[in-house]
């Protein structure tokens, strides 16, 4: 797809902001950008638009754009000046080199332009086909193709070509101002040595001004040898010339030789059904609807004609909240009210769904029946359970065992818990009190007290208070003994080394990116670079302090079998709970009996 200067400038004009309200139209500068705009067949244009901040126009310039060699582009009728010197569109931008700000003017209209240089971090340039993100932002599932160029911090081009799509991702994070995205490349690329794949994620880390928590969690898990831990690269992202902020480019939780290396049941389904043009378009069966995640023992699947020869493996599952379950294609709800969705195969057959739901139920029955470690190990790898429990305790993950908790099952093997995922609100960055736990206090256990959400249609969402499998395992002395052994042999040193690296070398590397991100998204309520650096330093110390304090707490208390009392809600509170549960269960049974579960 050819890109020419006139097209780029038209896009920039179309996307220009409303900072000029009240100025004379014939004196306004419609758009202003710097970079290299080339007529090339593939790849995004390396051009950066100015951005309207609260106190000035900002040019967030990555190291991949050398101002001394770049050009300046703008649209304006009449002469334009930079610090009193006339400039022309398409001419050299070297007048910006070495400066922190310039005044750009046209007639009586002046713009203070502040130049923020970003160094030591890789850069992702994306151009959507439409030239905007309106369609992508309208719905998380909307996809748009385009072009992409990725340049490493060392200046090497990692990727330069077609983008099959960019789309939204995340649950609660998708509703935030700074959006996370999933991208799919036209061809598999081994970006930054993270293994070949077409599919990648761009994590926004909007809730984490330090930009460290996901990186710290992934590094700690990798150090501890936890299987298939996501790999990552800090990047600055520009879409259609607009600086979107600092992101984390990561591998995704998917079945692939360089990701979760198990049989790809999704591909095997396609191979077993060569006459089916689009499996996604096949009829959906089972229990669907807005409240499907509340119906215990139910399943939903795709009516796929033929199954592969072996359906014992190739599954990646995710524990999910009841309210989110309805949005997924395939899944099941256990008898203890845990909704489970398919990440792979996303479109599962009836036999596959019945098989893995029954297998997972045997694991759940072993845990909830207190049958002991050996019995549990028949259905789920104990080492992976130990890894997941201790790791989630250390990071103080409020979602552990509830959502963003993955399991996978290879062919003719047990379930495994993992890979780890989603920690921007961990390490003392949690704004919710759940199950009476303050997750921002490192000197306490957290995951051990976690409870499933209520599975009834009415009542308090935490009324039923069914414990998660992590909760129950924390009371098992044999399991805790294994946790203690591995803490001493592996976790303590692995986690400590991760904290040291991420909060020193890594934090220093991404500091300029963090400063630019803080200005772009008003992370600290100021654009003063000195003040931002001071606040960022505090954030880094907060992350390190929490992680170190949690390490000390676990080191002192590991080996203790959890005991705690549930909240006493009193006679009337307990009565309301019982009525809510009973009424909800009756409603659930009536809906299933009447066959209305797919229409509500």
Q: Which two tokens stand for residue 92?
A: 């050299």
Beta-sheet pairing, 232-239 with 122-128? parallel
More confident residue, 27 or 408: 408
pLDDT at 117: 97
**H helix intervals, 139-273:** 213-223, 265-272
pLDDT at 3: 41
DSSP label at residue 415: B
pLDDT at 596: 64
pLDDT at 28: 82
Beta-sheet pairing, 433-434 with 157-168? unpaired
Contact 232, 213 (CB under 8 A): no
pLDDT at 588: 61
Render pLDDT for 111-142 as a digit per residue (tens, 0 to 9): 999 999 999 999 999 999 999 999 999 999 99
Spatial distance between the Cα atoms of 585 and 568, rounded to a whole number of angstroms = 22
pLDDT at 5: 34
How far is the CA of 429 from the CAs of 208, 403, 541, in angstroms? 7, 17, 13
Tell me how many degrees the CA angle 138-33-246 measures, rounded to the nearest 5. Answer: 55
Q: Which two tokens stand for residue 513?
A: 């990116």
The owner of tokens 């850069």 is 123
Spatial distance between the Cα atoms of 99 and 118, rounded to a whole number of angstroms = 14
- What does the pLDDT average to over 156-170? 95
Cβ-count burial of 585 within 10 angstroms (0-12 exposed, 13-18 middle, 19+ buried)? middle
- What does the pLDDT average to over 161-171? 95
List 110's β-bridge partners, or say none: 105
How far is the CA of 449 from the CAs of 227, 434, 453, in angstroms? 25, 9, 13
Give how far the C-alpha of residue 367 lies from the chain's centroid of Cα atoms, to the nearest Å. 29
pLDDT of residue 580 exceeding 70, the answer is: no
Q: Which two tokens stand for residue 413?
A: 């093997």
- What does the pLDDT average to over 229-254? 97
Nearest to 425 by CA among 213, 245, 250, 251: 213
pLDDT at 68: 92
Spatial distance between the Cα atoms of 248 and 204, rounded to a whole number of angstroms = 7
Region of poorest pLDDT, from 104-113, 137-146, 254-263, 451-460: 451-460
Which residues are within 8 A (CB) of 457 and not within 5 positions of it... i.e. 6 or more apart? 291, 294, 584, 587, 588
């Amino acid at each position: 797809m050819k890109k020419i200067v006139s097209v780029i400038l038209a896009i920039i004009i179309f996307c220009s902001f409303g900072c000029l309200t009240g100025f004379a139209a014939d004196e306004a500068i419609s758009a202003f950008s710097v970079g290299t705009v080339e007529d090339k067949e593939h790849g995004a244009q390396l051009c950066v638009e100015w951005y309207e901040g609260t106190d000035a126009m900002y040019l967030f310039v990555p190291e991949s754009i050398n101002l001394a060699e770049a050009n300046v582009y703008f649209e304006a009728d009449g002469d334009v000046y930079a610090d009193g010197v006339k400039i022309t569109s398409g001419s050299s931008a070297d007048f910006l080199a070495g400066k922190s700000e310039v005044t750009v003017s046209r007639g009586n209209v002046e713009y203070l332009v502040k130049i923020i240089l970003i160094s030591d971090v890789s850069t992702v340039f994306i151009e959507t086909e439409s030239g905007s993100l309106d369609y992508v932002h309208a719905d998380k599932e909307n996809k748009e193709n385009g072009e992409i160029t990725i340049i490493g911090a060392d200046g090497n081009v990692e990727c330069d070509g077609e983008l099959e799509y960019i789309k939204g991702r995340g649950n609660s994070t998708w509703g935030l101002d700074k959006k996370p995205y999933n991208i799919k490349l036209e061809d598999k690329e081994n970006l930054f040595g993270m293994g070949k794949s077409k599919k990648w994620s761009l994590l926004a880390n909007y809730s984490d001004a330090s930009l460290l928590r996901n990186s710290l969690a992934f590094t700690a898990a990798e150090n501890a040898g936890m299987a298939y831990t996501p790999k990552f690269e800090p990047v600055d992202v520009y879409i259609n010339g607009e600086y979107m902020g600092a992101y984390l480019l990561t591998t995704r939780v998917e079945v692939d030789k360089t990701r979760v290396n198990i049989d790809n049941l999704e591909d095997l389904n396609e191979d077993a059904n060569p006459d089916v043009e689009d499996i996604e378009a096949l009829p959906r069966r089972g229990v669907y609807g807005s409240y499907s995640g509340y119906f215990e023992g139910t399943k939903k699947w795709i009516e796929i004609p033929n199954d592969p020869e072996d359906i014992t493996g190739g599954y990646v599952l995710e524990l999910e909240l009841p309210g989110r379950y309805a949005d997924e294609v395939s899944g099941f709800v256990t008898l203890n009210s845990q909704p489970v969705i398919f990440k792979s195969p996303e479109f599962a057959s009836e036999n596959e769904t019945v098989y893995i739901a029954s297998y997972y139920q045997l694991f759940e029955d072993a845990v909830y029946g207190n049958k002991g470690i050996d019995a549990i190990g028949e259905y789920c790898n104990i080492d992976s359970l130990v890894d997941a429990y201790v790791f989630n305790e250390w990071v103080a993950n409020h979602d552990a065992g509830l959502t963003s908790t993955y399991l996978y099952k290879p062919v003719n093997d047990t379930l495994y818990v993992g890979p780890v995922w989603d920690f921007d609100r961990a390490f003392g960055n949690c704004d919710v009190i759940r199950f009476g736990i303050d997750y921002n206090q490192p000197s306490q256990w957290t995951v051990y007290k976690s409870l499933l959400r209520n599975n009834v249609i009415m009542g308090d969402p935490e009324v039923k208070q069914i414990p998660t499998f992590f909760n129950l395992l924390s009371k098992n002395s044999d399991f805790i003994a294994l946790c203690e052994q591995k803490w001493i042999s592996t976790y303590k040193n692995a986690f400590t080394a991760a904290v040291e690296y991420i909060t020193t070398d890594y934090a220093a590397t991404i500091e300029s990116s963090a400063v630019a991100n803080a200005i772009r998204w008003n992370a600290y309520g100021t654009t003063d670079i000195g003040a931002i650096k001071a606040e960022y330093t505090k954030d880094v110390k907060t992350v390190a302090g929490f992680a170190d304090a949690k390490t000390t707490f676990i080191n002192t208390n590991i080996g203790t079998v959890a005991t705690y009392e549930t909240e006493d809600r009193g006679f009337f509170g307990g009565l309301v709970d019982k009525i809510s549960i009973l009424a909800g269960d009756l409603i659930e049974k009536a809906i299933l009996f009447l066959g209305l579960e797919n229409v509500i």
